[in-house]
Amino acid sequence: MNVPVMYIVGLAAIVFTIGVVGVLIRRNAIVAFMSVELMLNASNLALIAFARSLPDGSGHVIVFFVIAVAAAEVAVGLALIVDIFKLRHSIDVDEMSSLKG
């Protein structure tokens, strides 16, 4: 595919912003988590586009690390959500306010 790199980075910017808005407006912790995955995915897309346009294979390696870190983050995050659900029978982020001063 031979389209200007700006088009793909623009698409990545739009998807990233959708992820940011999703984290801000959703109160279901799992959907907020999925929005974080959208943001990671958008940054990966921008990295791959830059790797293609330079061309430099280092972008692919960084995307590989991002995917590995995302997998680790999801494992721990979902374990935390399961723990919170067992404790409070809800994963609504508005109700997780016991640390509020």
Partner 1 sequence: MTGDLVIFFLLAVIAIATAVSVVLSRNAVYSAAFLVLNLTTVALFYILLYASFIAMIQLAVYVGAIVVLFLFVIMLLGADRGESAQTLLWQRPLAIGLGVVLVGVLFYVFVIAGPFPATAASELPAGFGGPEAVGTLLLSDYVLPMEVTSVLLLAAMVGAIVLTRAERREKR
Cis omega (within 30 of 0) on the bond before 55?
Answer: yes
Residue 47 CB partners (closer than 8 Å, separation 6+): 59, 62, 63, 66
Does 15 participate in binding partner 1 (rule CB under 8 A)? yes
Give the residue with the Cβ less far from partner 1, 74 or 101.
Answer: 74
Measured distance CA(23)–CA(97) in Å, rounded: 17
Cβ closest to partner 1, residue 65 vs residue 101: 65
Least distance (Å) between residue 83 CB and partner 1: 6
Query: Binders of partner 1 among 37-96, rule CB under 8 A?
Result: 37-38, 41, 44-46, 48-55, 57-58, 60-61, 63-65, 67-76, 78-83, 85-86, 91-92, 94-95
Distance of CA 14 to the CA centre of its chain: 13
Q: How far is CA 94 from the centre of its chain?
A: 20
Smallest separation, CB 101 to partner 1 (Å) = 18
Q: Choose which of 34, 36, 43, 96 interacts with partner 1 (CB under 8 A).
A: 34
